[in-house]
Structure 1
Amino acid sequence: MTDIQGAMRKTGGHRDFAADEQGRGPGVPSALTNNPKAGQWDGRRLSRGIVADYKRLVMTDGEGIRCSLYVSGCPFRCQGCYNASIWDFGAGHPYTRELEDQIIKDLSLSYVQGITYLGGEPLLNTPMLLGLSARIRREFGHEKDIWCWTGYTWEELNRPGETPDKAQLISYLDVLVDGRYLENRKNSLLQFRGSDNQRIIDVPRSLEQGQVVIWPKLHDQTRFIPETYSKDRQQEQQRG
């Protein structure tokens, strides 16, 4: 069996790497797996329509009170990923019309600001998210915002040869948090990011200007609050 045949067997017969490459892709862990070429990973083939979780009324996955949809499957496999259990595209349960209706019902609440797509890799689950995003825009316009986390960088998503479904999903987004999580650049002071290579991108302005425009409400911490609070408490106790 050749390397390519072995890779295709591991990924269910899908050729998820470029034609001139061997031994590379989601089913073949390697030093190259984390850096796909343009069009190498196609969510229209890789996605199995599976979600790992749906959370209502959360305040940790973007600005304001939100709904968060965690999709399954991510070939980036970042070291230190807190959601490694859902790297598998089959981990979880099927995305259903009933779930979509519940999401729309939750978004209709006046105090819910929007929805966030996480994972897993949302840009490789476009068969689910394109339909949901279109419905959100039909029913709410831009009254509700759409955030998305991705392992791709903005530049990778917009390079020649990337699959068109990714650009279609980006067109629905308001905010994109881009880039792999890099454990050696972890920074707990960052707002809505894990490592300092990641960016919070204002999608409409970036598309309009043809370059990355950072979300204008970015506000990283300058000190670690729990640690500072603990030191203050210790000093108070010593004085008392």
Structure 2
Amino acid sequence: MNYDRFYTCDLVNGEGIRVTLFVTGCLHACEGCYNRSTWDRKAGTPFTADVRERILDACATHDGLSLSGGDPLHPHNRGEILALCRAFKQRYPDKDIWLWTGYRFEDVAELDILGLVDVVIDGKYEQDKPSSEPWRGSANQRLIRLPRA
């Protein structure tokens, strides 16, 4: 997996103060996407164990981790995203993970990753359906809070 960038102090991508990772790789190619540079999964920088540790360490004093892109659920990204989510939840069981994906929740609900994620914003960005709802780019996108056992 490659990533485009990460922010260690983000107030925009989820509730509270967050660490946000933007991965590369997206199959949706939404017209009007503001992160078009993240579509190519080979773009960006390799996501290494050192980068994962830097992200996890930064989460210590923050409210949670946000995963965006590109698409964290791009098939090429799923293994690394799952490993990151597992490591995060092991280290910070009381903190949350937010994930943005162009897939509809119903189409990816069975992925192990979603058993670790607390909030999913799903659906392709549709520029002709603007939204005034927080954390969503277009009105078709849903914010789904997943129940925890």
Q: TM-score, normalised by structure 1?
A: 0.59
> How big is the shift at 1:157?
1.7
1:123 aligns with 2:73: yes
> How big is the shift at 1:139?
1.2
Runs of 4+ with >6 A deviation = none
SS of corresponding position for 1:120: coil
Instruction: Tell me which amino acid in the other structure corresponds to 1:186.
Output: P
Instruction: Give the equivalent residue in structure 1 for 2:101.
Output: 150
Instruction: Tell me which amino acid in the other structure corresponds to 1:116.
Output: S
Instruction: Tell me which amino acid in the other structure corresponds to 2:83.
Output: G
Instruction: Give the equivalent residue in structure 1 for 2:86.
Output: 134
> How big is the shift at 1:138?
1.2
SS of corresponding position for 2:128: helix
> How big is the shift at 1:194?
0.9
Instruction: Tell me which amino acid in the other structure corresponds to 2:65.
Output: I
1: distance between equivalents of 2:3 and 2:32?
21
2: distance between equivalents of 1:199 and 1:95?
28
Instruction: Tell me which amino acid in the other structure corresponds to 2:40.
Output: D
Instruction: Give the equivalent residue in structure 2 for 1:185.
Output: 129
> How big is the shift at 1:203?
1.4
- Is the radius of gyration larger for structure 1 or structure 2? 1
> How big is the shift at 1:148?
0.1
Question: How many correspondences in the alignment?
Answer: 147
Structure with greater strand percent = 2
SS of corresponding position for 2:37: helix
- Which segments of 5 or more consecutive residues in structure 2 lack a partner in the other structure? none
Give the 5 Å matches for 1:2-21.
none
Give the structure, 1 or 2, with the largest relative contact order (CA under 8 Å, sep 6 or more): 2
Q: TM-score, normalised by structure 2?
A: 0.94
Structure with greater helix percent = 1
Q: What fraction of aligned residue pairs are identical, expressed as a percent? A: 36
SS of corresponding position for 1:147: strand
2: distance between equivalents of 1:204 and 1:180?
23
Instruction: Give the equivalent residue in structure 1 for 2:22.
Output: 70
> How big is the shift at 1:186?
1.4
